[in-house]
Amino acid sequence: MPKEYLPRIVDALLGDYMEAFGAVQIRGPKWCGKTTTAEQRAKSVLKMQDPDRAAEYRRLADFLPSRLLEGETPRLIDEWQTAPVLWDAVRTAVDARDEPGQFILTGSSVADSDAVMHTGTGRISTLSMYPMSLFESKESNGTVSLKELFEAPERFEGARSQLTVQGLAHAICRGGWPASLRRNPAASLLIARSYVDTICESDASRVDDVSRRPQRVRALLRSYARNLSTLAANTTILADVKANDEEMTEPTLYSYLAALKRLYVIDDVPAWSPSIRSVHAMRATTKKEFVDPSIATAALGLSPDILLGDPATLGFVFECLCIRDLRVLSTAFGGSVSYYHDRSGLECDAVLHRSDGTYALIEMKLGSREIEEGASHLLRLADLLKENGLKAPSSLLVLTGGEFGYRTKDGISVVPIGCLRD
């Protein structure tokens, strides 16, 4: 019996891109569902990592890559980056056929740029895919639309989430990996742990054929997890790893970090630097984030029960989960996420930008006691932006792990993460 396909936010956008471009690349971390999503539209499939034929495919890619493109269209080429020449072959085929929707490329690591001759601009478009949001995994009831909060925040009257704090802790530790949803609660937690093991034992070395020590990769992941959702400098990460690995050097650290970024494991949040006249300089370092919060909990060996007994850590991984969901849910309207923090201490956990130039200021507060603090940050930053003559935010949001959502008298929407949809 075929497994049920749970719809993804990128489904509709993939259809639009296929009508506009000759080929579409879907990129993102392994196990996030790229291939399964692509297979919903593909008429033929080439899996470059098929163990029975991988060697044959690589030889053919070296001598006659166009043969690998033969098949009913749209043709899915899975893990194309294992033979980067296929990018140029696809670009050439798109030019020759001059029809949209010919190919779908999926990849769970960044290809070697030196092996690709052309960018593919105008022929191959790119979609980023993440592990599943709570809405896609059916843990958010979807009663609050992120798009509507942008366009008509005054219409938001309230909402109620059925996601308990225990359920939230389990969702964080389990992660948004589609395979984990088909397991019982205990077994579902093993997916993220296996993911981290695979990164450490093989993927970090295989991504660019540079040998890396598994124990060193694991130490780096643990340090990153301990500094999750903070502005910790890489020097802090280096000192943390060096405490038990004196041979670790700065160049080696950056090599390891680059590998984890190429694998779409690390997905830091950039700083937002609006043109504000202020004596207080804005911080420009990136905020440390994983593509999914379960990477952090797996790296630290945390279970839902342990997480519930550690409110501080739960708060940091909750922010990572919110960032993941904002990235996923805003895909349809070209969303991107940054953060604001100046040296006076004024901060905003996330700034969600739309492609039309509008933006929302967002704070993430796990418990109800922190909501007032988050709201005050939003109001102060909104006033600062106004004083400097900048466009006002479309919406002010506080995302919470609580049960009830409401709109404050100051116009701030307090929204449970267990209610949010695209």
Quickly count: other Cβ atoms within 10 Å of residue 306's Cβ.
15
Q: DSSP state, 203?
A: I
- The residue whose two tokens read 């124990």 is 215
DSSP single-letter state for residue 7:
P
Report d(CA 200, CA 188) in Å as an integer: 20
Single out the residue of 265, 406, 415, 330 nearest to residue 133, CA to CA.
Answer: 330
Distance CA 181, CA 11 (A): 19
pLDDT tens digits, 219-256:
999 999 999 999 999 999 999 999 999 999 999 999 99
pLDDT at 217: 97
User: What's the pLDDT at 123?
Assistant: 87
Q: For 106, what's the count of Cα atoms within 13 Å in the CB-facing half-sphere?
A: 27
* Structure-token pair, residue 52: 């029975």
Segment 150-208, tens digit of pLDDT: 999 999 999 999 999 999 999 999 999 999 998 898 999 999 999 999 999 999 999 98
Among residues 128, 129, 130, 139, which one has the least CA distance to residue 181? 139
Q: How far apart are CA 88 and CA 65, in angstroms?
A: 9
Written as six digits, the tokens of 119 are 């960018």
Separation between Cα atoms, residue 294 and residue 27, nearest integer Å: 19
pLDDT at residue 182, as a whole number: 84
Q: Return the domain boundaries, the chain.
A: 10-128, 144-421
Q: In the chain, what is the straight-line distance between the N-terminal and C-terminal CA atoms, in Å? A: 30
Model pLDDT, residue 1: 42
- Dihedral of CA 180/331/317/319: which sign? negative
- Type of residue numbered 285: T
Using the Cα atoms of residue 272, residue 273, residue 278 and residue 279 in order, give the sign of their dihedral: positive
Question: What is the predicted pLDDT for the residue at 112?
Answer: 62
Say yes or no: domain 10-128 is CATH 3.90.1150.10: no
- pLDDT reported for residue 117: 54
The token duo for 244 is 């038990």
Cβ-contact 137, 35 below 8 angstroms: no
Give pLDDT < 70 ranges for the chain. 1-2, 111-122, 277-283
Question: pTM higher than 0.75, yes or no?
Answer: yes
pLDDT of residue 278: 57
What number of residues does the chain have?
Answer: 422
Helix axes 234-242, 250-262, angle to 10 degrees: 110
Query: Which own/partner contact pairs does 280-283 have at CB distance under 8 Å and 24+ positions apart?
Result: 280/342, 280/343, 280/344, 280/346, 281/342, 281/343, 282/340, 282/341, 282/342, 282/343, 283/231, 283/341, 283/342, 283/343
Q: At residue 307, what is the residue type?
A: L
The Cα–Cα gap between 361 and 368 comes to 18
d(CA 33, CA 179): 9
